[in-house]
Structure 1
Amino acid sequence: MMARSHSFTHAITRKPSVSITAGLRAVDIGTPDLALMQAHHADYIAALRSTGAEVIELAALEAYPDSVFVEDTALCLPEGAVIMRPGAPSRLGEAAEMAPHLRALYGNVVQIVGADSFIEGGDILMTETEILVGRSARTNAAGIAELTHRVAPWGETVREVFTPPGVLHFKTDCSLLDAETILSTTRLSASGCFKAYRVINVAEGEEACANAIRFNDLVLMPAGFPRTRDSLLTAGYHIHEIGNSECAKLDGGMSCLSLRFTPKP
Structure 2
Amino acid sequence: MSDRSFRFTHAVTRRPSASITAGLRAVDTGTPDLALMLAHHADYIAALKETGARVVELDPLDAYPDSVFVEDTALCLPDGAVIMRPGAPSRLGEAAEMAPHLKALYGEVRWITGEGSFIEGGDILTTEREILVGRSARTNAAGIDELARLVAPWGHRLREVVTPPGVLHFKTDCSLLDAETILSTPRLAASGCFRGYRVILTAEGEEACANTIRFNDLVLMPAGFPATRDRLAAEGYALREIGNSECAKLDGGMSCLSLRFTPRR
TM range (shorter): over 0.9
Q: CA deviation at 1:191?
A: 0.2
Distance in 1 between the 2:220 and 2:5 partners?
A: 15
| 1:183 lines up with 2:183 in the alignment | yes
Report % sequence identity.
81
Tell me the C-alpha RMSD between the 2 structures. Answer: 0.8
Aligned position for 2:107:
107
Task: For 1:44-123, list aligned pairs within 5 A.
Answer: 44-123=44-123
TM-superposition CA deviations, 1:43-71 (whole Å, max 9, x none): 00000000000000000000000000000
Paired residue secondary structure (2:35): helix
TM-score of the two chains, using structure 1 as the length reference: 0.99
TM-superposition CA deviations, 1:166-209 (whole Å, max 9, x none): 00000000000000000000000000000010000000100000
Aligned position for 1:171:
171
2:2–2:179 Cα contact (<8 Å) kept: no
2:75–2:82 Cα contact (<8 Å) kept: yes
| 1:206 lines up with 2:218 in the alignment | no
Structure 1 residues 201 and 157, CA gap change in structure 2 (3 angstroms): same
For structure 2, the 5+ residue unaligned runs are none
| 1:22 lines up with 2:16 in the alignment | no
The number of residues matched between the two structures is 265
Aligned position for 2:41:
41
For structure 1, the 5+ residue unaligned runs are none
Aligned position for 1:220:
220
Distance in 2 between the 1:233 and 1:2 partners?
A: 21
TM-score of the two chains, using structure 2 as the length reference: 0.99
Aligned position for 1:141:
141
TM-superposition CA deviations, 1:117-146 (whole Å, max 9, x none): 000000000001100000000000000000
Distance in 1 between the 2:224 and 2:256 partners?
A: 18
Moved over 4 A (4+): none
